[in-house]
Amino acid sequence: MTTPLLEVSDLSVGLRAGGVAYDIVRNVSLTVDQNEILAIVGESGCGKSLTALSILQLHASPPLQITGGSVVYGGSDLVRKTKKEMRGIRGSEIAMIFQDPMSALDPMFTIGSVLVSAVRAHQDVSKDVAEKIALEALADAGIEDPRRRFAEYPFQLSGGVSQRAMIALALVNSPKLIIADEPTTALDVTVQAQILDRLRALKNERGMSIMLITHNLGVVASVADRMAVMYAGEVVEMGAVSDVFAKPQHPYTTGLLGAVPRLGAGASDLVPIPGRVPQPDELPAGCTFADRCSRVVDSCRATRPDITVRGRVQVRCFNPVS
C-alpha cells in the first residue's frame, strides 16, 4: 500500500472560550490517496466543514482550536506548522473551494486581479506570466471566455461561472489536493452536474486528489471513489463508495440511504431517522447515535465505540448491520 497523500489521525477540534470547552469534531481519522476523490457526507452541523477548514487551519481561531490529533501531509504534521509555513501550503499544496461562490469572491476586485495575486503569493513570476497562468486556470476550470471573465467583477458573473472562477483560483498554483466544501450546493441542478464533471475531469487530467464535502448522496455516488460518513462530529463509517452503498453497516448510514427519495417510489417509502442530532455540548457518554438507533444494545449507552475495520469498510458501531 502506498502512503496516502493526506492522513488525518484522531483529529479533534473544539470550542474553547470563557469557561466553555467541548469538542465539535471528535477523533476523526481519514486518508486521501493520490488521485482519488474522497467524499465526506453528513447532515448540516455534523462537523464535516470544520474538519475540512481545520486541515488548512482556516477555522475561526479563537474560539475554535485543534485539541488533538495530527494532519500529516508530505511527511510532516500540518497541526505543528507555523502560520507562515501554513500560508505556503494553502493554495500551492492544498487548495480549497467554498460553498457560496457569490460571497466567497471579493466584490471590489476583478477575477483576474485576485487570480494574479494568488499566483504571485506562491510563484516568483512577472505580472505577465502570472496573467497567463491565471487565464489558463480559467480555461481549465471550464470558463469559455477567459479573457473577458478575467476583467470582470464577481457581481457580473452567474453562480456557475463564479464557482468556476473559484475552481480556477484553486488551480492556479497546481495543488495536489483540492478540498471542495459543498461546491455545488448553491447552484442550479444543471450547473451542479457541469461543475462535478469538471472536478472529476481535473482529477483525471492532473492526477490530483479531491476531498469533496457534501450532504448530497447523489453527488457522492456519481463522482467519489471513497466516502466517509460523519455524524455528530465523528466518522461513523468509511469505505469505497460501492461497498458502503451496497452494504451499509452503520445504522446511521442505513438510515441516510433510506431517507433518499427514489424514482418510482411513493412518499411513504421514505424512511426518516427518528429524533434529532445531539448538540456538541450534550453528547452522551456512549455512542452518539444510540438515542436514535433501532439496533441499540446495552454497551452502546455505556461506552463509546471505536472505529474498527469490518470487512472492506471501517465502522464505529457495536452492533452493525451485517
Partner 1 sequence: MSTVVKRVLLTLLLLQLSSLAVFAAIRLSGGDVTAARLPASATAEDRELFREQIGLNQPILTQYVDYLGKVVRGDLGNSLTNNAKISTLAVEKIRNSLILGGAAIVLVFGIGIPLGMLAAFRRNTWLDTSISSAAVAGMAIPNFWLALLVVWLFSSTLGWFPPAGAGGFKYLVLPALVLAAEGIALTVRMTRSAMLENVGQDFVRTLRAAGLSESRVYFKHVLRNSLLPIISLAGLRVGQIIGYALVVETIFGWPGVGQILVNGVLRRDYPIVQFFSLLLVIVVTLGNLAASVGYTLANPRLRK
CB 208 within 8 A of CB 177: yes
Cα 180 to Cα 52: distance, rounded to the nearest angstrom: 9
Give the binding range for partner 1 (CB under 8 A) out of 37-45, 69-77, 150-158, 270-278.
150-158
Strands of the sheet containing 6-17, edge to edge, are 20-32, 6-17, 64-73, 76-77
Q: Least distance from C-beta 121 to partner 1, angstroms?
A: 5
Q: Which residues pair with 71 in a beta bridge?
A: 8
- Residue closer to partner 1 by CB (options 71, 293) is 71
Is residue 106 part of the contact set for partner 1 (CB under 8 A)?
yes
Give the binding range for partner 1 (CB under 8 A) out of 38-46, 100-108, 227-235, 281-289.
100-108
Give the binding range for partner 1 (CB under 8 A) out of 112-120, 241-249, 284-292, 303-311.
112-120
Contacts of 242 (CB under 8 A, 6+ apart): none
Cα 30 to Cα 290: distance, rounded to the nearest angstrom: 23
- Residue closer to partner 1 by CB (options 32, 227) is 32
Hey, what amino acid is at 151?
A
- Residue closer to partner 1 by CB (options 29, 123) is 123
Closest residue by Cα to residue 170 from 133, 143, 195, 137: 137
Q: How many residues bind partner 1 (CB under 8 A)?
A: 34
Is residue 166 part of the contact set for partner 1 (CB under 8 A)?
yes
SS3 category, 228:
strand
Is residue 61 part of the contact set for partner 1 (CB under 8 A)?
no
Give the binding range for partner 1 (CB under 8 A) out of 8-16, 26-34, 38-46, 111-119.
111-119
Is residue 158 part of the contact set for partner 1 (CB under 8 A)?
no
Is residue 50 part of the contact set for partner 1 (CB under 8 A)?
no
The secondary structure of 112-125 as a DSSP string is HHHHHHHHHHH---
- Residue closer to partner 1 by CB (options 104, 238) is 104
Place of cell 473551494: 97
Cα 161 to Cα 11: distance, rounded to the nearest angstrom: 35
Give the binding range for partner 1 (CB under 8 A) out of 18-26, 94-102, 139-147, 271-279.
94-102
Is residue 155 part of the contact set for partner 1 (CB under 8 A)?
yes
Cα 244 to Cα 262: distance, rounded to the nearest angstrom: 18
Hey, what amino acid is at 145?
D
What does the binding site for partner 1 look like in residue numbers (CB under 8 A)? 56, 58, 83, 87-92, 95-96, 98, 100, 103-110, 114, 117-118, 121-122, 153, 155-156, 166, 169-170, 172-173
